[in-house]
Each structure stands twice: as structure tokens, then as C-alpha cells.
Amino acid sequence: MSLKIVVLAKQVPDTRNVGKDAMTAEGTVNRAALPAIFNPEDLNALEQALRLKDAHPGSTITILTMGPGRAAEVIREGLFRGADNGYLLTDRAFAGADTLATSYALATAIKKIGEYDIIIGGRQAIDGDTAQVGPQVAEKLGLTQITYAEEILNINEETKRITVKRHIDGGVETVEGPLPIVITVNGSAAPCRPRNAKLVMKYKRALGAQEKVAITKDGATLPYAEQYEKLPYLNITEWSVADVDGDLKQCGLSGSPTKVKAIQNISFQAKESKTLTGSDKDIEGLIVELLENHTIG
């Protein structure tokens, strides 16, 4: 059976290698200092989608992302690895969204896409670490969800049920659910495959409307401009709130009940130090202490 798969992906600042200038003086993320990357667990999710496409020829993968114009990069990265198309939800009204408003926007866009069997994304994004968006999308669409997935084992074409191995504390469990379904993928799943040479050459000029504007804003001409008319797949679709028939009140800041009241910079400081010898007694004492305060366990 051929599947319609939607991959939820987010462009995030690379918080894995933060330097001194990672935060602004106001305590917000200094996005200019951190390179924008494809959220790592979303790449794990994309790999699971690509494996389904390999196993079920004729399947299609759509990348859905929300962000500023430059977030079209996430869609290109998806296309370079085997996704078929993508939509960029981009509108000032989407800005400042918490997980509720984000999942509202995504669910609304998924309804607009219309046909879907599997909606799959990473467990969480490295800039927020909430792990709420996937489950909320499932709730808003009224779908079953499987979280912490590590591997999609198979799909029974007759019963239209999917079997998934999911990561749990101290092991894995295998669960089954009905299609259509929302799956969030854990970072322990298989890493994403590399970009494919032919796909990179095919899609390297794919651009969203805002990116085209940015290139031409100082009077520069768009390279190979004629290609965009001839080859529709080079135009990355941008959707505004209106394009997905969204309710403005539920989008962005106005749709976000989460309010940041204050942000504090915390610097860790050692207040006291202990000296331990290498004796068995000292080591045992340390282990007991670390167990008690849950540093290890």
C-alpha cells in the first residue's frame, strides 16, 4: 500500500554546542550566534518516514514546518534526502507560539493537506525540550499517538494497523495502533541517511517566496529565474494563517496561554569542596551520597 506521510520538522538553533554568546543580555536565545539546524530528532523521524517509503513504493513524504522564511531550509534538507514536497507555515501571526498555538497551526495545516496516513515528528525540539507538540497535534486531529518510537516494524495492509517499537524506561516495548496515526520518534532511533547527490542537484535551487525576495531585494536578479516557472517543484509553498483557514485568535502569541514571567541567567558555582582519598571507605561513602541525592542511580 502506498502511504501519505507528513513529517513535522522544525528549524532550531544548534544548542548542542553553545558558546559564551549563546544568550543575549536579556536572557533570550541569541539566534544569530547559533547556527540554524534541522532539529535532530526530526531527522530521526524523517529516516523512519523514508524507510516506510522504501518499503512501500508509491508513498509520498510531505515536510511540514513552521517558522520564518529561512526555515524553508528544513524543507530543502528533506527534499535532499527523499521527501516529495513541503509546506512552510509562515506568517507574523504565527510568531511567538507556545506548544498549544504551534500544535493548533500544525493541525490546521495537516487538515488543509487533507490526506494522511502517518504524521511523524521528533519527540521534542532541542530549543524547547517540551515534547508536547506531537501529542497535542494528535489530540487536535483526534488520532491515536505513539510516542518515543524507536523503529516502525511493519504495517498490516489489511487491518491498516502499524506496529512500532518504542523506548521505555529500562527497555523497549512493541505496540500497535490504527492508521491514521501520530508518531513521535526518539533520538535513539536510526540516524537519518545522508543527502542524496541526485536529489541535491535536482532541488538545490528550490526556494520559498521570502527567500526569493531576500535574494533580489538589492536589485540582484534571481539566478536561473526561468527555472521556477518551468519546474514547479523548485517553488517551496508558503502558507499563511489565511491559507490554512486558521483562526487568528488561536495562533501565535494570542493563542499561547504560556507566559514567560521572568528569565534568569544562572551560573553554576562551586560553593564547597570535599577531598576524598582513594580508599574503599571514601569511595563507598561517595557512592552512597551520590545515590541518595539521585546524581546516579
Partner 1 sequence: MANYYSEVPELKFHLNNPMMERICQLKERDYRDKEEFDYAPQDYADAMDSYDKVLEITGEITGEIIAPNAEGVDEEGPHCENGRVRYASGTTQNLDAMVKAGLNGMTMPRKYGGLNFPITPYTMCAEVVAAADAGFGNIWSLQDCIETLYEFGNEDQHSRFIPRICAGETMSMDLTEPDAGSDLQSVMLKATFDEENNCWRLNGVKRFITNGDADLHLVLARSEEGTKDGRGLSMFIYDKRDGGVDVRRIENKLGIHGSPTCELVYKNAKAELCGDRKLGLIKYVMALMNGARLGIAAQSVGLSQAAYNEGLAYAKDRKQFGKAIIEFPAVYDMLAIMKAKLDAGRALLYQTSRYVDIYKALDDIARERKLTSEERAEQKKYAKLADAFTPLAKGMNSEYCNQNAYDCIQIHGGSGFMLEYACQRIYRDARITSIYEGTTQLQTVAAIRYVTNGSYLATLKDYELMPILPEYEGYMNRIKEMTNKFAACSNAVKEMNDQETLDFLARRLYEMAAVNVMSHLLLQDATKAPEMFAKSLEVYVNYAESEVEKHFNFIRKFNTEKLDNYRK
Residues that bind partner 1 (CB under 8 A): 193-202, 204, 224, 227, 231
Closest to 128 in 3D by CA, of 13, 248, 261: 13
CA-to-CA distance for 109 and 89, rounded, in angstroms? 8
Q: What is the nearest approach in angstroms of partner 1 to the Cβ of residue 56? A: 17
Q: What is the nearest approach in angstroms of partner 1 to the Cβ of residue 12? A: 15
Residue 182 CB neighbours (<10 A): 27
Q: What is the nearest approach in angstroms of partner 1 to the Cβ of residue 16? A: 10
Of 130 and 196, the one with the shorter C-beta distance to partner 1 is 196
CA-to-CA distance for 223 and 227, rounded, in angstroms? 9
Of 230 and 271, the one with the shorter C-beta distance to partner 1 is 230
Find residue 8's DSSP bridge partners: 64, 121
Give the contacts of 244 (CB within 8 A, at least 6 positions apart). 89, 105, 108, 109, 111, 112
Of 5 and 37, the one with the shorter C-beta distance to partner 1 is 37
Of 20 and 198, the one with the shorter C-beta distance to partner 1 is 198
Q: What is the nearest approach in angstroms of partner 1 to the Cβ of residue 117? A: 24
Of 154 and 224, the one with the shorter C-beta distance to partner 1 is 224
Q: What is the nearest approach in angstroms of partner 1 to the Cβ of residue 211? A: 17
Of 200 and 222, the one with the shorter C-beta distance to partner 1 is 200
Q: What is the nearest approach in angstroms of partner 1 to the Cβ of residue 215? A: 15
Q: What is the nearest approach in angstroms of partner 1 to the Cβ of residue 231? A: 7
Of 41 and 117, the one with the shorter C-beta distance to partner 1 is 41
